[in-house]
Amino acid sequence: MNDHSTVASDTARQDNVERILECAERVFKHYGYSKTNVADIAKELSMSPANIYRFFASKADIHQALARRMLAAQYDALAESAGRKASAADRLRAHTLLQHSLVMETMLDEQKVHEMVLVAMDQQWPVIEEHLARVRGIIENIIKDGIEAGEFRQQDARLAAECYMHAGVCLCHPQLVAKTAASDEVMTPEALIEFAIQALR
């Protein structure tokens, strides 16, 4: 197979993968993850389950790919926000509020999507851990910038990033966000972020 044929084959494969993922996401959202099987996705696409198994070994593999795609989109948005020209404190505020907003919008607005997220957190920890490590890197770089600018005190930026993430976990963890959104707590996201930023100074 020549290079041109290989590229065409890879493109066709990727197109099929995207079609399956788009359809699976629609079906999962409509019927719920637990009530959907590969045959349902195949029927929606007018293809055989065997054809889907050429690209994904199981429903869990499809779900893992969807989780990775959703989290990659979140990471891109967070990375773009972190790269803007502003003080380290302002960038941390914007980062955490954006992350909170993304969790609210993409994970909690629809109950069926929330179910998909819970399954991912329960069964796809490598995907979640990979995402958290990348987000930690964003926060660590912002804190390093703040230290270098004299905005934050001298400290271990990696440890500080870890502590900052733990302090704000209730703003970014889907289950905790859902619980907080349903309560009448006095604390606001902005108040918690200010509390965490003060600890860096």
pLDDT digits (tens, 9 = 90+) for 7-26: 566 788 888 899 999 999 89
| Domain stops at, among 56, 73, 97 | 56
pTM exceeds 0.85: no
Provide the CATH number for the domain around residue 24. Answer: 1.10.10.60
- pLDDT tens-digit profile of 91-149? 999 999 999 988 877 665 555 566 777 777 777 668 888 889 999 999 999 999 999 99
User: Do 94 and 188 share a domain, yes or no?
Assistant: yes
| 195, pLDDT greater than 90 | yes
User: Do 26 and 69 share a domain, yes or no?
Assistant: no
User: Do 126 and 156 share a domain, yes or no?
Assistant: yes
User: Do 44 and 137 share a domain, yes or no?
Assistant: no
- Taking alpha carbons only, the member of 148, 129, 135, 154 closest to residue 92 is 135
User: Do 38 and 74 share a domain, yes or no?
Assistant: no
- The predicted structure's pLDDT at residue 1: 52
Q: Which domain holds residue 156?
A: 60-200
Question: Is there a contact between 51 and 137 (Cβ–Cβ < 8 Å)?
Answer: no
Total domains in the fold of the chain: 2
User: Do 90 and 168 share a domain, yes or no?
Assistant: yes
Percent of the chain at pLDDT > 70 equals 86
For the chain, the residue count is: 201
Q: What proportions of the chain, in percent to the nearest 5, are helix, strand and coil?
A: 80, 0, 20
Higher pLDDT, 187 or 82: 82
Spatial distance between the Cα atoms of 118 and 67, rounded to a whole number of angstroms:
11
Please state the rounded mean pLDDT for residues 180-194.
80
CB environment 84-114: b (16+ within 10 A), e (fewer): eeeebbebbbbbbebbbebbbebbbeeebbb
Phi/psi zone of residue 85: left (φ > 0), alpha (ψ -120 to 50 degrees), beta? beta
User: Do 114 and 192 share a domain, yes or no?
Assistant: yes
